[in-house]
Chains A and B, each alone.
Chain A
Amino acid sequence: MTSFDIVFGSFLVSALRSATPLVFVLVGETLVQRTGSINLGVEGQMLVGAMAGYGAAALWGDPWLGLVAGAGAGMLLSSVHGLLTLAARANQFASGLAVWMLGFGLSAYYGAGLVGRKIEGFGTWRGAGLDDVPVLGPIVAGMTPTVLLALVVAPAVAWWFWRTRTGLVWRAVGESPEAARAAGLRPIRVRLQAILLGGLLSGLGGAALSVDHTRTWAEGMTAGRGLVAVGLVIVARWNPWWVLPTALLFGGAEALALRLQTADAGVSAHLLLTLPYITSLAVLTLTCLRDRGQAAPAGLRAVMDR
């Protein structure tokens, strides 16, 4: 095994681990936007997911229960967005921001007692005999269960979305709610299902962040990951197949920032931390430059272009 393999392998592992929480959120938001909604509240849903997940893991000592609790909390909060946008027909951007504020406040309030608590996290497979397998060995050995879960969820959803009848229904609703209604489908119900599933996945992403990736809880700890996801859905061109590579862009930027920080490259850590946001905005800009907004589901374009 060459030293290149080791450096590249360990970088890929850190990029994957950074990308993991984002993968869940990105998959969820892709489905939400595909059915014709946009939910900025994913940031708040991630926060309540991170807080509830960390709290559950601390209380019951089981990180798996943390993931379940986080997913549930995210879904619960997303129902507010569903209520506001679907039942009350409120503006989607404003509703998303309201959900974000609410999630930020609720997670800060209920999470106050969790600051500084320790939890039992997931382990990796290091030392399980995998490390000596060439190339892939060290990469797999450095993963945690949430990374593997993300690697399974993204393609599974992509397959479901493109290959099943329900997936077809969801796509139809996003392309033309009127035509879908005329064909006997129920666009509002589908959108609600997508928002709730998006809430579940963003809560799961938040829990993956606090329970597994950072193993801490701090107020506002998601630091814009949910908002980054809303932008990266466009970069992934509303296609669940593209979620993994797109999330890796953010994960790679974050891993690079951390790498440069520990390597003492002479650049301030705070400046390096801007890398993931700037990278996300840059790829978003490049995507918009290429597509000119034409790749969006037609039902969503009405919301985005106004």
Chain B
Amino acid sequence: MSGGTVDRARAMAAPLGRPALAAAAFVVLAAVFFAVIGRNPLAMIGVVLEAAAGDSYAIGESLVRATPILLCALATALPARVGLISVGAEGQFYAGAIAGTGTVLSMLPTPGWTMLPLMLVTGALGGMVWSLVAGLLRTGLQVNETISTLLTNYVAALLVTWLVYGPWKNPASQGWPATVEFPAAARLPALFDSRVHAGLLIGIALAVVLHLVLTRTRWGLVLDVLRSNPRAGLVAGLDFRRNALIVMALGGALAGLAGIAETASIQGRLQSDIAGGAGFSGFLVAWLARNHCLRIIPLSLLVGALLASGDGLQMFAQVPSSVTLVIQGLLFVAVLLVNGWLDRKRPA
């Protein structure tokens, strides 16, 4: 065999070898962690699999967890296409939940068929506006978008808490801080007679559309140039600021959509802490997928299943559900370790 064939074979195997290597590193790290906390790693991995996909209920709960993560991953991947590292999906999720809830509450006495589309649109707009704060700070004043999105996340979460303890609190709910229950007209249709809702299908469809737009259109190419070679973009007359604002706005809209869909269809009312880290899990998924929109679909299902298994771990193995947070962190570490190691020859 000539050297060229070997190289070609190696090049073809590389994309397959990378995930396999990362998965192996992850399993080793997770096994070490289970051993450290005094659990049999094999038994624990069995419980995780059982709790994530053991029966139709488990699969349904995994899909429920995956839905907001999928949208938040797209919300991270899109700004990343011009090289922006936005960690703001969590805050945009809350902003979308606030805006959409505002629409529902304002239409409440007489909910009609317009409620659902209006709620979804205002939810997306809420996330968009929130994301544009960081986008404008970056494009106008050079404020690092990673830091500004992280700080505004806390503000958005506190605004939700303020609303549900104060102006929007349901007076009938005694001590529990939440809005009134949303009417049936505000719920997305459920799938397969479970808690899974149409938001999952919307997310998958949006991932496919985004993938096509990013890979098949001139605009996708413009974003690639702006990311990989800003100087060439400048010479070619491409507008970084304009495109950065567009991807931040679209990303924010996706996370906002995730927020209002979760509020309306899963929680049924607005309350504190509903994001539950979906924005950050979305960031992890986007990173695992290397911002590839199609790869985001299976990977968000995987991470959703991992997090959903936390409830099962608590029930069947008497392990606190925070174990899944550690496992999620180890997954991130494993992938960064393997990818970084394989790419280390490239200039940073």
Contact = CB atoms under 8 A, between A and B. Distances in A.
Interface in B327-343: 327-330, 332-333, 336-337, 339-341, 343
Main secondary structure of the interface of A (DSSP, over half): helix
B152 A84 contact: no
A291 to B, nearest CB: 9
A108 B158 contact: no
Interface in B259-312: 280, 283-284, 287
Nearest to A111: B322
Interface residues of B, number: 48
A108 B151 contact: no
Interface string A74-109: 000000100111011111011101110111111011
Interface stretch (A16-24, A144-152, A195-203, A276-284): A276-284
B159 A274 contact: yes
Interface stretch (A5-13, A160-168, A204-212, A224-232): A224-232
A277 B329 contact: no
Interface in A260-290: 268, 270-271, 273-274, 277-278, 280-281, 284-285, 288-289
B184 interface: no
A40 B150 contact: yes
Nearest to A93: B85
B320 interface: yes
A277 B330 contact: no
Interface string B119-148: 000000000000000000100011110111
Interface stretch (B49-57, B67-75, B161-169, B248-256): B161-169
A227 B151 contact: yes
A142 to B, nearest CB: 28
B329 A284 contact: no
Q: How large is the interface on A (under 10, 10 to 19, 20 to 34, 35 or more residues)?
A: 35 or more
A104 B83 CA distance: 27
Contact of B326 (A83, A105, A281): A105
The winner among A273, A281, A306 for most chain B CB atoms within 10 A is A281
Contacts of A281: 143, 148, 151-152
A128 interface: no
A292 to B, nearest CB: 6
A270 B162 contact: yes
A270 B332 contact: no
B226 to A, nearest CB: 11
Given A277-B151, A285-B141, A89 B344 contact: yes
Across chains A and B, which 3 residue pairs bring their CB atoms closest together, nearest first?
A: A105-B325, A88-B340, A102-B329
Interface of B: 37, 83, 85, 87, 137, 141-144, 146-148, 150-155, 158-159, 161-162, 165-166, 280, 283-284, 287, 320, 322-330, 332-333, 336-337, 339-341, 343-344, 348
29 contacts: A85-B340, A89-B343, A89-B348, A90-B337, A90-B340, A91-B340, A94-B287, A97-B87, A97-B284, A97-B332, A98-B333, A101-B329, A104-B329, A105-B326, A105-B327, A106-B326, A106-B329, A109-B323, A109-B326, A112-B320, A230-B150, A234-B147, A277-B152, A281-B151, A284-B143, A284-B147, A285-B143, A288-B137, A289-B141
